[in-house]
Structure 1
Amino acid sequence: MSLSRLSVELIPRTNEALLDDVARVKTLLPAADTLNIPDLMRFPLRSWDAAALVRPHFPSVVPHVRAIDIAPDATLPGADQDGLKDVLVVHGDPPADLSHRTYPNSTESIIRRYKKEAPHLRVYAAFDPYRRAPWRELEDVARKKEAGAEGFFTQPVFDLKLFDLCQEWLQNETVFWGLSPVIGPKSRSYWETTNHVVFPKNFEPTLDANIHFAQTVLRTLSNQKGSVYLMPLRVKLDQYLPPLLEALE
């Protein structure tokens, strides 16, 4: 068995740095068939422009689109981009720069616009088991599906028990399961403070432990023909990606 899709999330800091990361992913993790690119306000390169930049080198790219940034009369990001097949619509956090204008859009309203104005695109939405009561998150899943979402990208998971539970909740859905290394106390504190993650009691914020966890999840999903996205934050790609190939062989 094998994964259905394997994506790596890359940060679009600059054109040059992004293209360098793309080349390294192709070399270090040849099993990867997709890239997903977040839209981060602290960098000038927008996710859909980054997607256009890297698609000649990596044809399957999923740019993230922040719903609160889309003006009512604006063309949807990526809607007219040749060869683009997927987008991920997230709500988006309020910008730190108060001069950056936002709009009172819901995730569902932008998904509906994509389904109406760019029906050729496959639209994904987000699933986060940490930020609130699970029943509220699952209500959101139902609303996003009703709006036209065809699959979900999860917040990274760090606990096998929670992973199993989320698999039950999202049974029969198309899901990219998130995996991200948490190395050291500062990284752990970031996830706990910013994303309200509750780590298991035996969690170890070491590279080896995170690789072992990712390998376990990858083997499980490989047997199920599931899909994964890797978010290699604050680690060197050449340290994190190659060991994960062992779980896919």
Structure 2
Amino acid sequence: MSLSRLSVELIPRSAEALAADVATVKAAFPAADTLNIPDLMRFPLRSWDAAALVRPQFGNVIPHIRAIDIAPDAPLPGADQPGLEEILVVHGDPPADLSHRTYPNSTESIIRRYRREAPHLKVYAAFDPYRRAPWKELEDVARKKEAGAIGFFTQPVFDLKLFDLCREWMQGECVFWGLSPVIGPKSRSYWETTNHIVFPRDFSPTLDANIQFAQTVLKELAQEKGKAYLMPVRIKLEQYLPALLDAVA
């Protein structure tokens, strides 16, 4: 058995850096069949433009679209982009640059716009078990599905017990389960402070421990032909990805 989809999340720092990362993924981690690209305000390259750049080298690319950035009368990012088939709509964090204008859109309102104006696109939404009480998050899941989302990308998971519980909650849904290495105390503090992650007591922020955890999750997902995405932030791709090949073979 193997995963039905396996994505790697790449940061669009620049066109040149992105091209280099795509080449590394293709060489070091041929099991990946998809790339997903976040839209980060600190970089000038927008996610949908990055998707257009890398699609000739990597067919399946899913750009993230920030709902709060889309003006009511503005065209939807990627709606008319040749070859684009999938997007992920996230709400988006408020920008650090206060001159950057945002809009009071909900994720659901932008998903509905895509369903009306770009029905050819498959739209995913976010699922975050750490953000709020589970019942509230699952209510959000239901609203996003009603708006037209066909599936979900999770906040990365770091705990096997929570992973099993979330799989129960999301049973029957199309879910890309997130995995991200947390290496060192600064990385751990970032996840705890910014994303409100509660790590298990025996969590070890070492490369070996993170690889072992990812291998365990990927092997479980492979048994049910599930989906996953890998987010190797603050670590070289070639230090993390090749070690997971056996788990997805």
When normalised by structure 2's length, the TM-score is 1.00
| CA deviation vs aligned residue, 1:138-159 (integer Å, no higher than 9, x gap) | 0000000000000000000000
Corresponding residue for residue 70 of structure 2: 70
Count of aligned pairs between the two proteins: 249
Corresponding residue for residue 189 of structure 2: 189
* 1:114-153 mapped onto 2 (5 Å cutoff): 114-153=114-153
Corresponding residue for residue 91 of structure 1: 91
1:220 is displaced (CA, Å) by 0.3
The residue type paired with residue 172 of structure 1 is G
The residue type paired with residue 63 of structure 1 is P
1:227 is displaced (CA, Å) by 0.4
Corresponding residue for residue 13 of structure 2: 13
Distance 2:142 2:74 in 1: 27
Distance 2:28 2:60 in 1: 17
1:248 is displaced (CA, Å) by 1.7
Distance 1:102 1:127 in 2: 22
Corresponding residue for residue 170 of structure 1: 170
Distance 2:91 2:114 in 1: 14
Corresponding residue for residue 29 of structure 1: 29
Local SS of the residue matching 1:63: strand
Alignment of 1:229 with 2:242, yes or no, is no
Structure 1's consecutive aligned runs of 4 or more residues displaced over 3 angstroms after TM superposition are none
| CA deviation vs aligned residue, 1:207-235 (integer Å, no higher than 9, x gap) | 00000000000000001100000000111
Distance 1:18 1:239 in 2: 17
Distance 1:164 1:116 in 2: 35
Corresponding residue for residue 56 of structure 1: 56
Local SS of the residue matching 1:24: helix
Distance 1:231 1:142 in 2: 26
The residue type paired with residue 134 of structure 1 is P
Distance 1:239 1:7 in 2: 17
Corresponding residue for residue 219 of structure 1: 219
- Taking every aligned residue pair, what percent have the same amino acid on both sides? 82
| CA deviation vs aligned residue, 1:18-41 (integer Å, no higher than 9, x gap) | 000000000010010000000000
Gaps spanning 5+ residues in structure 1: where?
none
1:73 is displaced (CA, Å) by 0.8
| CA deviation vs aligned residue, 1:64-90 (integer Å, no higher than 9, x gap) | 000000010111000000000000000
1:246 is displaced (CA, Å) by 1.1
1:236 is displaced (CA, Å) by 1.0
